[in-house]
Chain A
Amino acid sequence: MGLKEKMHELKLKYQGKKMAPAFNAFHTFLYAPNETTHSGGHIRAVDDLKRTMNTVILALVPCLIFGIFNAGYQHYSAINGFPAEFSLFEHFINWDNFILGVTTILPLVIVSYGVGLIVEFIFAVIKGHEVEEGYLVTGMLVPLIVPVDTPLWMLAVAVIFGVVIGKEVFGGTGMNILNPALTIRAFLFFAYPTWMSGDKVWVHGAKAGVTQAGSTDAISGETVLGYLAQGNTEGMYAKYDLSEMFFGFIPGSVGETSTFLILLGGLFLIFTKIASWRIMLSAVLGSLAMGLIFNGVVEFGWIPEYSKFYGLMSFDFWQHLIVGGLAFGIVYMATDPVTGSQTNKGKWIYGFLIGFISVMIRVFNPGYPEGVFLAILLMNVFAPTIDHYVVQGNVKKRLKRMKNATILPNVGEEAEQLKAETV
């Protein structure tokens, strides 16, 4: 008794009115609806859109929690210096880090969900259809792929742009060509580049000019890729070691630093059959392939050491996977079932090219040493084309098989007629 019935009554009361989709949405969002369909045959399954979305959100929660602690850890370490002997509970999981993380990251989450859902509601009311659950995952992804100090109004503008231009103009959830979360990220990157790149955005307070303890120098935090893009490979390894990169105690966008937790999330998504392992695996292979090509170029001495690409090209090929947003993009963005390839063979091509192009853009991008979001958006555009050719190839193969099939009568008028039909 209680809320569920009340909401159901409200829903019935407003049925057929203009605001009906809004009440419907609240009801479906919180509970399974009461209605059943009466005609036709149906398959009853529990893995509806809402369940799918919730599973992805569940897989994202560890990244969010890690991001909250990491925001505090990076901030206080930048002020007081990094601890010489790192201890997880003493330096990382403590109240100071948690409080700072929550006060900086929770507003991002709230703005992302609030603005995004308002836009969805407005469109649902205008178009008179039900509010779709599509924004639930996007709203969670967005705060995880932006720097901690992103101003909230910028995020709000970007979310409006991303949801309207990335999704609603194409007809809403399920019809979009581009991943809305990445559209939002790309918009932020091109619109406000000073807030999205450089060494002042990844640590809370750096842009505002917070200074180091006992010094007048402002704090800063360069990412691993930032060091490499400047050709400062020794400086990078002096600051971060491989285990820090893998477990994520490095500056970066809120939720993408910990490859370890992303890996766990990815395994969870594969185990629950929500995301495609083909895309993930082929994207990893693609990025390794591109990384190996670059390493080969360096190995053969085809590129001089003073070249501005040397730092990123000489970076060990497999280490590309544990820094930057590559792992996060592969697991949570490339596998988006709406914007990705649908056919199995297509998924291999689509994933491989995402990994391949990501590393390529990362190395050659003049403005900013990262390119995962651009690579995925590019392949989103090509996914339908890939699928088209995979399907056509299949049709052709089957027609050929049918033409050569021995079951058909081989001689006589009937055979000729059949052959003519199948060509």
Chain B
Amino acid sequence: MALLSKKDASLISDPLADNNPITIQVLGICSALAITAELKASVVMAISVMFVLGVGNVVISLMRNVIPSKIRIIVQLIVVATLVIIVDQVLKAFAYELSKTLSVFVGLIITNCIIMGRFEAFALGNGPWRSFLDGIGNSLGYGIILVIVGFFRELLGSGTLFGYPVLGDPIEKTGLYALGYENNGFMIIPPAALIVVGIIIWVQRSRNRALIEEA
């Protein structure tokens, strides 16, 4: 017996590729640009969003029959705000340096379009288990792009991965730096993230032409 039925498995696999929230739906771009200069921050952000979206989807799904539709946005906001405050406090307590790097962008998870989008489009109409899978799938799709962008930006911009120097020491001039290599300052600034995301979108759509939108 498979762990997940085929239909349920697609809830996780679809957002990873052909229905990716960032590259296909172009949601949640703001945080993808802001915090991807370091891989560590990307990973923590991805995990935070996974927690908020996974738990939030379940909560909304459980309450879907009792929320009056006129005030559903407010209810959703309260749920997501509660979860984000939990994440924020946990980060401040256990990873203070990192929470300073992420600064306001943890709080801004509240306004991340992916979260409200999944609440509205999925959790309000489906059961808790499927909503949970959908939340995990979408946050994985979001996270994978964050990690890819963070990987290239940190490697090319700072010459490190997770803070470990992988290309040599720029001050001592070892490794690649001995050959005259220099870090690319452009990759540190947010516009570079826009270009990296753009290249991912470009590569993905030229591999699968069905994804190209009608002009």
What residues of chain B lie closer than 8 Å to A187, measured between beta carbons? 186
**Interface-located stretch among B6-14, B63-71, B177-185:** B177-185
A191 engages B184 (CB within 8 Å) = yes
Q: Does B129 sit within 8 A of A, measured CB to CB? A: no
Does B202 have its Cβ within 8 Å of any Cβ on chain A?
yes
Check B184 against A165 for contact (C-beta < 8 Å). Answer: no
B108: Cβ under 8 A from any A Cβ: no
Interface flag for B98 (CB, 8 Å)? no
A337 to B185, CA, bound (A): 31
A153 and B180 alpha carbons, distance in the complex (Å): 9
Give CA–CA (A417, B182) in the complex, Å.
72
Task: Report the separation of the CA atoms of residues A153 and B189 in the bound assembly, to the nearest whole angstrom.
Answer: 21
CA distance A154 to B189 in the complex (A): 18
Q: A151-B180, A153-B180 are in contact. Are A165 and B195 (CB under 8 A)?
A: yes
In the bound complex, do residue B202 and residue A192 qualify as a contact, i.e. CB atoms below 8 Å apart? no
- The distance in angstroms between the C-alpha atoms of A190 and B184, with both chains bound, is 8
Q: How many A-B residue pairs have CB under 8 A?
A: 23
- Choose one: B180, B181, B186, B198; the contact of A191 (CB below 8 Å): B186
CA distance A154 to B182 in the complex (A): 9
- Closest CB in chain A relative to B60 CB, distance in Å: 39
Residues of B in contact (CB 8 Å), total: 11
- A169–B202 CB distance below 8 A: yes
Least distance between A129 CB and chain B CB atoms (Å): 15
- Chain A residues in 8 Å Cβ range of B185: 190-193
Q: Min CB distance, A291 to chain B, in Å? A: 30
- What is the minimal beta-carbon distance from A338 to any residue of chain B, in angstroms? 20
User: Per-residue CB proximity of A159-197 to B under 8 Å, as 1/0?
Assistant: 000000100010000000000000000010011111100
- Determine whether the beta carbon of B180 is less than 8 Å from that of A190: no
User: A190 vs B157: C-alpha distance in the bound complex, in angstroms?
Assistant: 11
Residues of chain A with a CB closer than 8 A to B180's CB = 151, 153
Which A residues are in CB contact (< 8 Å) with B187?
Answer: 191
Min CB gap A195→B, angstroms: 8
A22 to B180, CA, bound (A): 33
- How distant is the Cα of A193 from the Cα of B186 in the complex, in angstroms? 9
- The minimal Cβ–Cβ distance linking B179 to chain A, given in whole angstroms, is 9
Interface centre among B180, B182, B198 (most CB of A within 10 A): B182
Which single residue of chain A is at the shortest CB-CB distance from B157?
A191
CA A187 – CA B186 in complex, angstroms? Answer: 7
A165 to B201, CA, bound (A): 13
With a CB–CB cut-off of 8 A, which chain B residues contact A169?
198, 202
User: Which residues in A have their C-beta under 8 angstroms from that of B184?
Assistant: 157, 191-192
CB of B177 to closest CB in A, whole Å: 13
A159 to chain B, nearest CB (A): 14
Residues of B within 8 A of A154 (CB): 182
* Chain A residue with Cβ nearest B202: A169
Instruction: Tell me which residues from 160 to 215 in chain B have a Cβ below 8 Å from any Cβ of chain A.
Output: 180-182, 184-187, 189, 195, 198, 202
Nearest chain B residue, comparing its CB with the CB of A194: B182
Q: How far is the CB of B195 from chain A (nearest CB, A)?
A: 6
A190 and B186 contact, CB distance less than 8 A? yes
Output the residue of B185, B186, B198, B202 with the most chain A CB within 10 A: B186
CB distance from B16 to the nearest CB of A (A): 24
Interchain CB contact (< 8 A) of B182 among A165, A190, A192 = A192
Distance of A151 Cα from B179 Cα, bound (Å): 11
Expressed in whole angstroms, the minimum distance between the Cβ of B183 and any Cβ of chain A is 9
**What residues on A are CB-neighbors of B202 within 8 Å?**
169
Question: Nearest chain-B residue to A168 (Cβ)?
Answer: B202
Enumerate chain B interface residues (CB-CB to A < 8 A). Answer: 180-182, 184-187, 189, 195, 198, 202
Q: What are the 5 A-B residue pairs with the smallest beta carbon separation, nearest first?
A: A191-B186, A190-B186, A191-B184, A191-B185, A193-B185
Told that A169-B202, A190-B185, A191-B184 touch, could you supply 8 new A-B pairs with CB distance under 8 A? A153-B181, A154-B182, A157-B184, A190-B186, A191-B185, A192-B182, A194-B182, A195-B182
